[in-house]
Amino acid sequence: MAAAENKKTRREFIADGIRTGGLIIASGAIGALAASSHAEDTVWQIDPYKCTNCGLCATSCVLDQSTVKCMHAFAMCGYCNLCSGMLRPERVGNTIEAENVQCPTFAIQRSYVENPYFQYVIDENLCIGCAKCSKGCDAFGNGSLFMQIRHDRCLNCNQCSIAEVCPAQAIVRVPAGKPYLLKSKIKQDG
């Protein structure tokens, strides 16, 4: 008897179905709306045109070895024989010895291309982000060496400790989809 009373009529079943379907659709719509209105994720990055190569990146990052590394815009590089990013301006010779080289960890390595050109590559495992090379390149070269935050290391802190101390306010938020601010001709177009 009771089972017969609980039995739904076809009309009630359809009405319940419509209500349930409506709720599901409304939920989906709200979810889609929420997803579409979600702000694009952003990450920290150095604007290379604001950066003054002060060297604070090397000592201000929360990581023991800074997440900031030197990058090289090959499209800009002059492939110079005497690279002002690699060699100190007050060097006593042009050899790649400790007394002549800028980088304190020998992170810049060069290879012969053809006379008188050399290719320069940064070993990021060695680079500590001191910006000595990019400073030298900016001062005497064309600025093809520049500093960037590497996102395979960066923790993307809510408040970047480098940004706090950056005298040039060069640390900015950029879309996570385009996390690097590369120089000049090699702007990232996706």
Q: Considering the rule CB under 8 A, would residue 138 count as an interface residue with other proteins?
A: yes
What is the nearest approach in angstroms of other proteins to the Cβ of residue 88?
7
Task: Name the segment binding other proteins (CB under 8 A); options: 69-77, 115-123, 129-137, 144-152.
Answer: 129-137
| Residue whose entry in the numeric block shows the structure tokens 């320069």 | 120
Does residue 52 bind other proteins (CB under 8 A)? yes
Alpha helices in 40-158, H assignment, sequence order: 56-60, 132-140
Q: Considering beta carbons, is residue 126 or 172 the nearer one to other proteins?
A: 126
Tell me the pairing of strands 171-175 and 42-46: antiparallel
- Chain center to CA of 21: 45
Tokens of 116: 């008188």
Q: Could you tell me the smallest distance in angstroms from the CB atom of residue 172 to other proteins?
A: 14
Give the footprint of other proteins on residues 53-92 (CB under 8 A): 53-56, 58-65, 88-90, 92
Only one of the segments 7-15, 111-119, 163-171, 178-186 lies at the binding site for other proteins (rule: CB under 8 A); that segment is 163-171
Q: N- to C-terminal Cα distance for the chain? A: 69
Backbone angles phi, psi at 126, to 5 degrees: -95, -25
Residue 136 in the binding site for other proteins (CB under 8 A):
yes
Alpha-carbon distances of 90 from 52, 84, 94, rounded to whole Å: 20, 10, 10
CB neighbours of residue 86 within 10 Å: 26
d(CA 18, CA 36): 26
Nearer to other proteins, 20 or 105 (CB): 105
Nearer to other proteins, 60 or 148 (CB): 60
Q: Is 24 helix (H, G, I), strand (E, B) or coil?
A: helix
Backbone angles phi, psi at 12, to 5 degrees: -65, -40
Shortest distance in whole angstroms from residue 166 CB to other proteins: 9
Among the listed residues 81, 105, 119, 188, the single contact to other proteins using CB under 8 A: 105
Residues forming the site for other proteins (CB under 8 A): 49-50, 52-56, 58-65, 88-90, 92-93, 97-99, 104-106, 126, 128, 130, 135-136, 138-140, 143, 161, 164-165, 167-169
